Amino acid sequence: MGMTASLKYYWNVKVTGQPFLYWQRRQAERYPRIPSRWRMDILSPPLRIGARTKELISRHYLEGRYASGHRPVAWVTSGGPVEILQALGFYVLYPENHGALCGVRGAVVELSGMAENAGYSTDICSYARTDIGSVLSGKTPVGHLPKPDLLLACTNICQTVLYWYRVLARHFEVPLILIDTPFVYTKVSDHALGYVKKQLENSISISEQVAGCRLDYRHLKQIIRLSKDATELWQEIISRGRHQPAPISVFDQFIHMAPIVEMRGKKETVYFYAELLRELDENIAKGKGAVRNERKRLLWDNLPIWYRLRYLAEYLGEHGICVVSSTYTNAWGELASLMNSEKPLESIARTYISPILNQGTKYKLDTMKRMVKEFQLDGVILHSDRSCKPYSIGQIDQRNKLIQEFGIPALLLEADHDDPRAYADEQVASRLASFVEMLDD
Amino acid sequence: MAITTIPHRRDVIKDIKNRGGLVAAVLPIHYSRALLRAFDIFPIELWGPPKVDVSLGGAHLQSYVCSIVHNALSFLKMGELNVASLILIPHTCDSLQGLTSVLMDMIKPEQTIFPLYLPRGQREEDVVFLVDELQALYAHFSDFTGKYPTNEELLTAIKREELSDLLLLKLHKNRQQMGLSNIDFYRLVRSREYLSAEHFAALAENALQVTGETAGGIPVILSGILPEPMKMLDVISKMKGQVVADDLACCGRRLYQPGTSREPFRRMAERIIYAPPDPTRGNSIAERAEYLIEMARNSGAKGIIFYEVKFCEPELFDLPNLRNCLKEQGLASINIEVDINNLLPHQIATRIGAFLEMLDS
Ligand code: SF4
Ligand code: SF4
C-alpha cells in the first residue's frame, strides 16, 4: 500500500475528518434539533442516537473516500461473511447499503437511468441498477466510492448478486470470490455446510493475497465475538418493539440498522447498539412510544421502500398505527446464536447459510406468525417488491395464510425498494386507506 | 425427414404409463437424466408450456415473475401434471427457487417435489458438492421407488444418455446439411425434452442419414432460454434468416460432453458442470462472450438474436457486456424480450425482419 495514500488517509480521516464528525455529533447531542418538517403531533422526537448513527455512517464513507492505496478495499454483498475480510484489514463496502442511501436521497432515478442507457433492463434489481449506474458514471451522493481490490458475492440473499458482481468483476478487473450457499428448503444438509466451509477456506488465500498479509485466527475469533455481540444487541433492540407503546418503529430500525449490516465485527458498532438499547429502555421507562398515540401495531415484510419511509411513517402514525416489527430487520439479529468464535469457519458457514432469504417460504411464514403473537400485532403489510423476487415470491400465499389463521388484515403493497418509478402514489394511498379502515373494523 | 415421425409428448407419456413406468415432470434447466432413468423414472421436461390459463399461477405469483414459472405453475394447477409421480426442480434461478418453495410449503401438490441445488461455479468444490447433491437425490429416489441401482446400472444409464447427447451434438453440427426448416429442426432437437434416450437416438440417427438441400438464408445465432412461441422460428425463415447455431438454455447450453470418470456420480456431476457456459451456473461474462464469438466463427453467423423471456435476471445482467464484446468482433446483435403467452406481436416480427435486412446489407 502506498505511502502518499496513507498520509492522505491519516490526514483526512484521522486528523481532520473524524474529529470534525465527532465535534459535529457532540454539538447535535448538546443542542438537539428536530427537523423542521417533523410531525411532532404524531411522532415522538427522533431518537437521540440519530446523531451517532449519522457520525458512524459518515465516518464509514469518509474512510472509504481515502481507503484506496492505504487499505485493501472489498465490495461485499449484504449477507456476505465479512469477518475474514475484517480480520485481514479490508475496508468493506456494501453496494446495497449505498443503494439504500441513494434511495433515501432520491438519486436512484438518475443513477439507474445511467445503467439503463448502457443497456441494463429496468427488470433487474434496482440496487444493482443503481450501483452499476454509479460505477459507470462515477456519481454518488456520498462523494466518492473507493474502487474495490476484491469482490465477494454470497448467494445467501439471492442469485442476482452473482450476476451483478460478475458485471463488477468485469468492470474493475479484480478477483471475485463466490460463496455459494445452497438454498435451505427443509433443513441444512451436512454436505451443504461442508461446501460453504470449503469455499470459505479457499477464499482465505485469495483474500490474503489481495490484502498482502496472513490471516491471524486469534484476530478472526475476536471479530466473530464482536459480530456476535452486536448482533445480539440488535436482536434485543428489535425485541423492544414488543413493548406497548413500542419505543422504536421499524422505520427507525431501517435507519439504525446500517451499522449491523456495514460494520459488523467492530467495537464501535457494539458501543453504538448498547447506547441505542439504553435509550430505548429509558423511553420505555418514561412510557414514550415512537408513535404518540399508538392504537394499532403492524408487521412489515420485505425490504423498506427507501424513498417513502417518511411518508409511510407519518401516514400510519396519523392513524395511531406503529409498525413495530419486520422480517427484514429481524434477519440481522436472528442468527446471533449461530455465531461461535471458538469454531470460526464452521460457525461462519452455518450462520451464513441460514438467513431468512436462504430458507423456504414456510420459514418466513412461521417467523411472521411468531411475530404476530409475540408482538401482539393487529395487521401485516407485505411489501411486494418488484425487483426483489427472492423476498417477494410466496407472499401471496403467506398473506392468505396469515389472514386465515389470525383473522387480521394483511395488505400486499406493490412497490419497489429503491426505484420510485415502480411506485404509484395514488394507488398506494388508496390501498393504505382501505387497509387502515379494515384495521379499525 | 418427415417431421411427423416425432411422437407427441402426450403419446410418449401414455406409452410410459402403459408400460408401468414412472413419469417425472422436470423443470429447467440442468439435471441428470441418467439418474432418473436408473430408477426407471422417465423425465418429461416442463418449459412453461404456452397456452395455459395463467390466472391459476397468478393466484400465487406476482406479475413480475417470468412466464416460464407462471406457466409451469398454471399447468400444474390445471391438473396437467397428474400423470407425473414426482416433480424435479433444478435450482436454476431465484424465480424457480421461489416456485419450488411455494410448491413444497404452500401448495403441496400430490406429487413429491425434489429440488436439486446446482452449484454456481466450476471449481473442484462445486463438483464435489454436486456429487453429494446427486447422491442425496439418489437416496431420496430410493426411498421413493424402493430401488437401489448399482454403480454398473448407473453407468449403463449414463452411457445411454451420453450416446444420445452425442447424436444431439451431431444434429446441431449438421443442421445446415439436413435441409430442415428452422421450426422443424427445433421440433426435432427439442423432442429430447421428453423422449427417452433410446427413442431420441433412433430418431436422430434417422434424421442424420437424410441430407437435403443446404438451408440458405442469412445466418444467425439464437440465444436465450427457449424459442417460444415456436412461430418465431417461422418468422425468421420467412424473413430469409437461418438459425445456424444456438445458445439456448433448452438446446445449445445442454450439449453435454461424455464424462470420463468411472465413478457414476462424479461423471454425472462433471457433465453438468462443464457444459457450455450458462449464466445460471455462474459462468463469467468473458467465458460466455468467448464462447459466442467462437460459435459465430464456426457457424458463419453474421449476428445474434438475444431472444429473452421478460423478467429473466440471469439473462438480462450479461446482455450489455455480451453485446459490446460481440460488437467489437463485428457481430451485430438484437435483444428481444417476450412473454411466452403472447402471440408473437407484429412488432417483434418487424424488428427481426429489420435486423436480418441490416445483416444482409
Ligand atoms: S434481488 Fe433482493 S436480495 Fe438480491 S440484491 Fe436485490 S434487493 Fe437484495
Ligand atoms: S426464464 Fe429466466 S427467470 Fe424464468 S425460470 Fe428461466 S432462468 Fe428463471
Interface test mutation site (partner A, options B306, B309, B313, B336, max chain A beta carbons within 10 A): B313
A119-151 residue pLDDT tens:
999 999 999 999 999 999 999 998 889 999 999
- Does the distance separating the beta carbons of B95 and A360 come in below 8 Å? no
Q: Establish if B119 touches chain A: CB-CB under 8 angstroms.
A: yes
A185-206 residue pLDDT tens:
999 999 999 999 999 999 999 9
DSSP A291: B
User: Closest-lying ligand to the alpha carbon of B46?
Assistant: 2
Q: Which cell is A282 given? A: 429509558
- pLDDT, chain A, mean: 96
> Chain B: nearest CA to A37, how far in angstroms?
36
Distance, CA of A56 to CA of A76 (rounded, Å): 19
Which chain B residues are closer than 8 Å to A166 by Cβ?
284-285, 317-318
Distance, CA of A291 to CA of A441 (rounded, Å): 21
Say if residue B211's pLDDT is above 80: no
Q: Report CA-CA distances (Å) from A29 to A24, A25, A34, A54, A274.
A: 9, 6, 11, 12, 17
Q: Residue A356's pLDDT band (boundaries 50, 70, 90)?
A: very high
B317-337 residue pLDDT tens:
999 999 999 999 999 999 999
Q: Residue B343's pLDDT band (boundaries 50, 70, 90)?
A: confident
Which chain A residues are closer than 8 Å to B97 by Cβ?
159, 183, 390
Q: Report CA-CA distances (Å) from A112 to A121, A125, A129, B65, B340.
A: 10, 10, 5, 21, 27
What's the per-residue H, E or C state across B94-155? HHHHHHHHHHHHHHCCCCEEEEECCCCCCCHHHHHHHHHHHHHHHHHHHHHHCCCCCHHHHH
pLDDT above 90 covers a percentage of chain A that reads: 96
- pLDDT, chain B, mean: 95
A125 lines ligand 1 (CB under 6 A): yes
> Chain A: nearest CA to B218, how far in angstroms?
26
Which chain A residues are closer than 8 Å to B311 by Cβ?
123
A71-116 residue pLDDT tens:
999 999 999 999 999 999 999 999 999 999 999 999 999 999 999 9
A361-415 residue pLDDT tens:
999 999 999 999 999 999 999 999 999 999 999 999 999 999 999 999 999 999 9
Say if residue A274's pLDDT is above 80: yes
- According to the model, what pLDDT value does residue B4 have? 59
- According to the model, what pLDDT value does residue B86 have? 98
DSSP A350: H
- According to the model, what pLDDT value does residue B359 have? 96
- According to the model, what pLDDT value does residue B161 have? 98
Q: Establish if B120 touches chain A: CB-CB under 8 angstroms.
A: yes
B309 lines ligand 2 (CB under 6 A): yes
Q: Residue B51's pLDDT band (boundaries 50, 70, 90)?
A: confident
DSSP B244: E
Say if residue B213's pLDDT is above 80: no
- According to the model, what pLDDT value does residue A36 have? 83
Distance, CA of B324 to CA of A167 (rounded, Å): 13
Q: Residue B39's pLDDT band (boundaries 50, 70, 90)?
A: very high
Say if residue B215's pLDDT is above 80: no
- According to the model, what pLDDT value does residue B210 have? 83
Say if residue B1's pLDDT is above 70: no
Q: Residue B345's pLDDT band (boundaries 50, 70, 90)?
A: confident
Q: Measured on CA atoms in the order A256, A257, A263, A266, is the torsion positive or negative?
A: positive
> What is the average per-residue pLDDT within B118-134?
97
- According to the model, what pLDDT value does residue B2 have? 54
Distance, CA of B213 to CA of B188 (rounded, Å): 18
Say if residue B291's pLDDT is above 60: yes
> What is the average per-residue pLDDT within B7-32?
96
- According to the model, what pLDDT value does residue B185 have? 96
Say if residue B214's pLDDT is above 90: no
- According to the model, what pLDDT value does residue B124 have? 97
Compute, in angstroms, the gap from residue B79 CA to the centroid of ligand 2: 22
- According to the model, what pLDDT value does residue A202 have? 97
Q: Which cell is A322 given? A: 406503529
Distance, CA of A158 to CA of A149 (rounded, Å): 23
The larger pLDDT score, comparing residue B215 to residue A58, is at A58
Compute, in angstroms, the gap from residue A13 CA to the centroid of ligand 2: 46
Residue nearest to atom 2 of ligand 1 (CA): A388
> What is the average per-residue pLDDT within B132-151?
98
Distance, CA of A125 to CA of A129 (rounded, Å): 6
Residue nearest to atom 5 of ligand 1 (CA): A161
A12-18's contacts with Cβ under 8 Å and 24+ in sequence apart are: A12/A62, A12/A65, A12/A66, A13/A62, A13/A63, A13/A66, A17/A59, A17/A62, A18/A59, A18/A62
Q: Residue B356's pLDDT band (boundaries 50, 70, 90)?
A: very high
* Mutation choice for ligand 2 from B45, B309, B341, CB with most ligand atoms inside 8 A: B309
| Contact between residue A112 and residue A129 where contact means Cβ atoms under 8 Å apart | yes
The packing angle between helices B151-174 and B264-273, to 10°, is 30
Nearest-CB residue to A124 (from B95, B104, B317): B317
- According to the model, what pLDDT value does residue B3 have? 59
Say if residue B109's pLDDT is above 90: yes
Backbone angles phi, psi at B201, to 5 degrees: -60, -45
Specify the range with the lowest mean pLDDT, choosing from A158-167, B174-183, B238-247.
B174-183
Pairing of strands B241-248, B303-309: unpaired
B176 lines ligand 2 (CB under 6 A): no
Distance, CA of A351 to CA of A226 (rounded, Å): 15
